[in-house]
Amino acid sequence: MVVENFGALPDGKMVQKITLGSADLCAEILTFGAVIRDLRLSGHDFPLVLGLNSAADYATHSPYFGAIAGRCANRIAQGRFRLDGQDYQLALADGARHHLHGGPQGFSQKIWKLAGYGEDFVTLTLCAPAGEGGYPGTLRASCTYRLVARSLVCELTATTDAPTLVNLALHSYFNLDGSATIDGHRLQIFSDHITATDDERIPTGRLKPVRNTMRDFRQMREIGTHIADDNYCLAAGRYTNPQLAARVASAAVSMAVYSTEPGIQFYTADHMDLPIGGLDGRRYSARAGLCLEPQFWPDAINHAHFPQPVLRPGDTYRQITRYEFTARS
């Protein structure tokens, strides 16, 4: 385990990098956004995730690469919601109509505090004051990454002093063979439905069966040129212990995703086109990686029949997600 400076953000704040290692996995974690910058499986030279080479690159060019999205991940229609009879308006990015991933000053843009570490784990913490981004309640969050054999385990917790929304999501982009796109990867998602959305990716409130559609990944099949930015419904509520949510495989490496969360967002990054180089000098263009983000369903607070991302004083939000890797060649 090594802790070192990774560089400064444009505002001068310093970012630290923590390198973790086990017999099977090596990971690099940043205090900026609690980002997983790099992740490698023993015996394979290529990274399993997309990452960038400087703190400034993350601040300027990163589409949430490896970050923890929050305080409420995914979309909230027009940034508006009602909680306990009170209306709230969340911050919107410039020109945006809807709230996304906690807004322009969300958790992915914050410097997290290095609270604890060892050879195979690191714990980062963050305090979000009441009113930040328009959210009620002071929220205290923690993120622990741990290497367990060939698995990366992410445990996210949060407490609040007033009723608020919490929906944290690990936003890593995976590529399991170092190829230019993930088109040749094979995918399975253990879900019968997605949340139907309008043209702006806002849920309508209906659940849409995947059967006999291009979104049907109930059986392992090649992703091909399928375009995805969909929430797959895994359960009507959160699990106490992680359950198998998805599998993805290249010719070289396979990955199983286990999580406590009721949904998983599948995203193929079709509009990605970064003007800078990434890990190992690679340029990231459209479909360079895929996201499988366990979380609550998008815009859930505005649909009472969806699992609700409401946290109240005295309760603890706890998400556990495990990414398990297996070498295939």
44 is catalytic: no
The DSSP annotation for 188-256 comes to: EE--SEEEEE-TTS-EEEEEEE-TTSTT--SS-EE-TT---EEEEE--SS--SS-EEEEEEE-SSEEEE
Marked catalytic residue, from 293, 303, 305, 324: 293
Marked catalytic residue, from 98, 171, 185, 261: 171
293 is catalytic: yes
Q: For residue 252, with 0-12 CB atoms within 10 Å meaning exposed, 13-18 middle and 19 or more buried, which class applies? A: middle
CA distance 115 to 150: 24
CA angle in degrees (0–180, nearest 5) for 65-70-75: 90
CA distance 289 to 217: 18
Of 135, 123, 131, 159, nearest to 72 (Cα)? Answer: 135
CA distance 188 to 190: 7
SS3 313: coil
Distances (CA, A) of 246 to 24, 47, 101, 288: 21, 20, 22, 19
Q: What are phi and psi of 222, to 5 degrees?
A: -70, 140
The length of the chain is: 329
Distances (CA, A) of 329 to 42, 107, 214, 250: 12, 37, 29, 10
Q: List residues bridging with 193 in a β-sheet.
A: 209, 233
Active site residues: 171, 293
